[in-house]
Amino acid sequence: MRTVKILGTASMGLMLGLFAFGNLTDYNVNFQFVRHVLSMDTIFPDSGIQYRAITAPWAHHLAYALVIATQVVASAATWLGAWRMWKARHAPTAVFVQARRAAVFGLALGAALYLVGFMTVGGEWFGMWMSSQWNGIASAFRFLVCLGGMLAFLGMREDHG
C-alpha cells in the first residue's frame, strides 16, 4: 500500500506540475479565462452581482500569478512528499507518516486552490457558473476529487497485519 500511496502522490504532483507548466508556457490561453471570470463579462446580463467585477488588468495578472504560484508550490510539496515517502517506504510506520507531511500540505493546498479559488470565489462570488464559455467549475471539481481522494487515501491508517 505504501508504494501505491507514493505512486498516487507522485501522480498528483505531476498533474499539478503540468497545470503550472501549461499556464506558464501558454500564458495567454488561461489568462483569458481568469480575465473573463474576474470581469464577469460573460455572465447573465441581468445578474445583480455584476458590481463584484474586477476589470483592472493588473488585478487579472496578479490573480493568475497567484494561481500559478499555488500550483507550483503544491506540485513541489507533493513531489517532495512522494520522494520522502519513497525513502521511508521500508521504515517504521511513524517514520513513514512523518515523511508524508509535505505531500499532505501539497495535496491540501492544491485542493484548496480548486475548492476555494475556482469553485467558491470564481464559481459563486464571480458567478462563473452563469458563463457558458468561461465556466471552469466542472474541471475544478474533477481536480478537487482527484486531489481530495488522494489526500484521503494518503491519510489512511497504516496496517501491517
Q: Is residue 114 part of a domain?
A: yes
Q: Is residue 160 part of a domain?
A: no
Considering all CA atoms of the chain, what is the largest pairwise distance in Å, rounded to the nearest integer? 61
pLDDT confidence bin for 160, thresholds 50/70/90: low
pLDDT confidence bin for 157, thresholds 50/70/90: confident
The 3 state secondary structure assigned to 81-149 is HHHHHHHCCCCCHHHHHHHCHHHHHHHHHHHHHHHHHHHHHHHHHCCHHHCCCCCCHHHHHHHHHHHHH
17-34 mean pLDDT:
96
Q: Is residue 161 part of a domain?
A: no
pLDDT confidence bin for 161, thresholds 50/70/90: very low
Q: How many Å apart are CA 124 and CA 129, to the nearest integer?
A: 7
When the pLDDT of each residue in the chain is averaged and rounded to a whole number, the result is: 96
Q: Would you mind telling me the total number of residues written for the chain in this entry? A: 161
Q: How many Å apart are CA 54 and CA 76, to the nearest integer?
A: 30
Give the domain extent around 102: 2-154
Q: Is residue 159 part of a domain?
A: no
The proportion of the chain whose per-residue pLDDT surpasses 70, expressed as a percent, equals 98
Cα dihedral 158→70→139→21 (10° resolution): -100
Q: Is residue 39 part of a domain?
A: yes
In the chain, the number of structural domains is: 1
